[in-house]
């Protein structure tokens, strides 16, 4: 009995002099703040094992009101999934919009103007000459602003620091394969056609593009809200060598009025 008690003390079964069944201990640990869970893994081997389990993280997500089903199945079933699930719980990497100030509510904060042709790119609020943004759970509701271009080519760019956003190299390696997706909404006014181009690139530390993809299209006058797409897949071979630092989102449009809103 003393040997069993000693082993329980080593493994973390005893709390305040009471023997705690492992299933109960898992539930108790799930009450810890998400940011403290990596520290729990350093206390005892058993605690580390518990904090690596799928059942533990499912309980953490449910306890914190997070959507467990948003985690890709191929990630949640892996032995090293805990670091991805930790980032998903803390940084919402599978559910948040990585693009900041996506509709120009804060003018051009977080954006860099690369080209500013025609009558120059502006932010319009409220929107004029177009219909309201349709209801869509994937996009913010109640937004009444958009980036607008006039009579010439204009380009804006936003660089997203992946480490700051919760996508460290360790997290990305543990979730391979995965996909970056950018899906802005575009609307064209009734009085002129427009061209819209979206470039998405994965940059390494020196600023070179490791991966990139470009989508573009010519849109007819009066086309109502169109969801455009630009994606690329990240595979194991892409994570070798230089560490990945940022995603570059480049948007260009021309003619009268190419508008985009809600990435």
Over residues 25-80, the pLDDT tens digits come to 999 999 999 999 999 999 988 899 999 999 999 999 999 999 999 998 888 778 77
Are 123 and 243 part of one and the same domain? Answer: yes
Domain count, the chain: 2
Stated as kind and residue range, the H or E segment containing 17 is none
Q: Which of 19-23, 141-145, 206-210 has the lowest mean pLDDT?
A: 141-145
Length of the chain: 263
**Could you tell me the two tokens for 135?**
């209801």
Residue 224 contacts residue 187 (beta carbons within 8 Å)? yes
Are 164 and 253 part of one and the same domain? Answer: yes
Mean pLDDT rounded to a whole number for the chain? 82
Are 117 and 85 part of one and the same domain? Answer: no
Instruction: Give 251 or 83, the one with higher predicted confidence.
Output: 83
Stated as kind and residue range, the H or E segment containing 187 is strand 185-188
CATH number where 42 lies: 1.20.1280
Are 132 and 252 part of one and the same domain? Answer: yes
Q: What pTM value is reported for the model?
A: 0.81
Residue 184 contacts residue 262 (beta carbons within 8 Å)? yes
**Structural domain of residue 43, as residue ranges?**
2-91
Residue 152 contacts residue 236 (beta carbons within 8 Å)? no
């Amino acid at each position: 009995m003393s040997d069993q008690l000693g082993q329980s003390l080593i493994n973390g079964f005893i709390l305040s002099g009471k023997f705690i069944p492992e299933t109960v201990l898992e539930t108790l640990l799930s009450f810890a703040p998400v940011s403290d869970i990596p520290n729990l893994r350093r206390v005892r081997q058993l605690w580390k094992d518990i904090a690596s389990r799928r059942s533990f993280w499912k309980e953490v997500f449910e306890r914190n009101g997070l959507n467990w089903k948003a985690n890709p199945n191929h990630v949640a079933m892996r032995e090293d999934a805990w670091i991805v699930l930790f980032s998903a719980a803390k940084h919402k990497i599978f559910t948040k919009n990585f693009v900041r100030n996506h509709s120009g509510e804060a003018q051009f904060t977080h954006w860099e103007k690369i080209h500013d042709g025609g009558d120059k790119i502006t932010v319009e609020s409220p929107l004029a000459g177009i219909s309201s943004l349709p209801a869509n759970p994937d996009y913010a509701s109640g937004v009444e602003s958009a980036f607008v271009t006039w009579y010439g080519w204009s380009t804006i760019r936003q660089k997203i620091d992946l480490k700051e956003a919760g996508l460290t190299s360790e997290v990305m390696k543990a979730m391979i394969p995965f996909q970056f997706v950018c899906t802005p909404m575009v609307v064209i006014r009734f009085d002129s056609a427009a061209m819209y181009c979206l470039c998405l690139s994965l940059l390494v530390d020196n600023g070179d593009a490791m991966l990139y993809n470009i989508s573009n299209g010519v849109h007819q006058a009066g086309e109502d809200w169109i969801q455009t797409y630009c994606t690329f897949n990240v595979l194991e071979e892409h994570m070798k060598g230089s560490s990945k630092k940022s995603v570059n989102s480049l948007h260009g449009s021309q003619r009268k009025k190419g508008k985009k809103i809600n990435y």
